[in-house]
Amino acid sequence: MESGRDKAEVFTLAEVSKHSSREDCWLIINGKVYDVTKFLEDHPGGDEVLLAATGKDATDDFEDVGHSATARAMMNEYFVGEIDASTIPTKVKYTPPKQPYYNQDKTSDFIVRILQFFVPLAILGLAVAVRIYTKSE
């Protein structure tokens, strides 16, 4: 397929996923489909990076790397069409599992404050006692 056509062809995710080998590698980035087969050997990150991004929307992978303006301009050369967005699964927002209610006020504030005061004081007293004991021997 050639780039620069007047009307972009629309592909489904299933169609794009069929192109996932070194001999035929297509990627989806920002709703567009790119045939990067000829670019695999020249990709600075190696061909494995591109091959790992096939069969899914690789937009996040592409953006996370922080490609240069030159790299973005090169993409036009590999453009083959648009993706039918309805064929890409929506990202599911992570919802943590329900936790049993934890009552942070089980221990009264007063007891915590007393412990915060007396524990360091006890450690200091113990250190002084050990020092006096070892000095007197």
In the numeric block, the tokens 């360091």 are attached to: 120
Q: Is the pLDDT of residue 5 over 90?
A: no
The 10s digit of each residue's pLDDT in 19-34 is 999 999 999 999 999 9
pLDDT of residue 55 exceeding 90: no
Q: What is the pLDDT of residue 89?
A: 82
Is pTM beyond 0.85? Reply is no
Residue pointed to by tokens 């020092």: 131
Task: Give residue 102's pLDDT.
Answer: 62
For every residue of the chain, which 3-state class applies, written as one string?
CCCCCCCCEEECHHHHHCCEECCEEEEEECCEEEECHHHHHHCCCCHHHHHHCCCCECHHHHHHHCCCHHHHHHHHHHEEEEECHHHCCCCCCCCCCCCCCCCCCCCCHHHHHHHHHHHHHHHHHHHHHHHHHHHHC
pLDDT single digits (tens) 113-122: 888 889 999 9
